[in-house]
Amino acid sequence: MKTAFLVAAFAAFPLLSASAAPAAVSKNPMKTGVTKTDWGKADGQPVDLYTLVNRNGLVAKITTYGAMLTELHVPDRKGKLADVVLGFDSLEGYLKGHPFFGCTTGRYANRIAKGQFTLDRQTYKLATNNGPNHLHGGLKGFDKKIWQAKEQISPLGPSVTFTYTSPDGEEGYPGKLSVVVVYTLTNDNELRIDYQASTDKATVLNLTNHAYFNLAGAGSGSVLAHQLRITAEHYTPVDETSIPTGEIRAVKGTVMDFTQPLAIGARFDQLKANPAKSDPGGYDHNYVLNTKGPGPLTLAAELYEPTSGRVMSISTTEPGIQLYTGNYLDGTNTGKGGKVYNKNDALCLETQHFPDSPNQPKFPSTVLRPGQKYSQTTTHKFSVRK
């Protein structure tokens, strides 16, 4: 990661398909803007829920617990709204434990091998909470913290700014880290997430949002018929514990190829033959985006759900995107409306730096030093196909 401050362009980006059109305006009676409500308590501290409604009637709900996206209502081709992210109806569901539904993950999203890394000749030990490896910031990462929040109406649409200060040594990471995450529901029907951070000591940092998407609606069943395109001609192969081998391999001619739109489940039979012990039959892989490095927003992926006509296009300033097809959802999470979330009932498209970058010198760096600014942006733009 180049840690020079990045100026994100506040502009719309074209969809991959010319047949896509702006999402139909919904008949949502909710008032445009931001509403704050009490959502309970965690660790004895109050938790708030913010509801964002843009001028087209789209709705996003984000809570101060984990700076977490809990709901995202977008219209289908007939203008009917549906919530397209997995989660729970109340805070209690999240407090019981969950597979990172909708949360801000950090300090380091994805895996770090054997729970350790060396920086400036000093080795740092982290929790091993995913087999032998460290995952998503540790035992109590950013997803379990209560963030401070401030609402506003930006030129782009309703917005909430979340802030958290991670003390030096938290979860084993060096440096006092100040983090800002801004969610904006733009009037161009984008959920935009801007991240910034600074540190007083050299550290490593990799932030993302871990939303589980089902464009037919949360709890509606499998996503294997969703059609996906990823603008990546390479990916990072992994070992039996899902740690990158260090190789950057071409996707052409392999089961990993989504350079053309393809049903997610089209090659699952081949994936099930994968001998990797960590792969129960599905994708959980980092793709190397066709970009020359951090900079202006670049289209990373497009997801289409044929029944509803919903399209989600993801643009990012990050070099990678993790495709995860909900392989470990096992019916133990009773979600919104009492619906059960089973294997492959959602997918994640996590914009990020590569897994295990602190131990992989050939990967883009995730080191952040004092005086430098971490800055990145990801947008999720919604539209429909007729």
* Catalytic site positions: 210, 350
Rounded distance, CA 277 to CA 12, Å?
A: 41
Place of tokens 């009490």: 38
- Number of H helices and E strands in the chain, helices first, is 2, 30
| Four-CA torsion 72, 350, 208, 79, nearest 10 degrees | -20
Asked if residue 213 lies in contact with residue 193, where contact means CB atoms within 8 angstroms, the answer is no
Looking at 131-204, list the stretches that DSSP marks H as alpha helix, in order from N- to C-terminal side. none
Cα 142 to Cα 255: distance, rounded to the nearest angstrom: 33
> Kind of pairing, strands 374-385 and 340-341?
unpaired
Cα(141)–Cα(131) distance, integer angstroms: 17
> Are 377 and 316 spatial neighbours (Cβ–Cβ below 8 Å)?
yes
Instruction: Say whether the peptide bond before residue 107 is cis (omega within 30 degrees of 0).
Output: yes
Distance of CA 147 to the CA centre of its chain: 18
Partners of 367 in the β-ladder: 204
For the residues of 180-244, what is the DSSP string, one character each?
A: EEEEEE-TTSEEEEEEEEEESS-EE-B-EE-PPB-TT-TTS---TTSEEEE--SEEE-B-TTS-B
- In the chain, the N- to C-terminal Cα span, in Å, equals 39
Cα–Cα distance measured from residue 336 to residue 315, given in angstroms and rounded to the nearest whole number: 28
R_g over Cα of the chain: 19
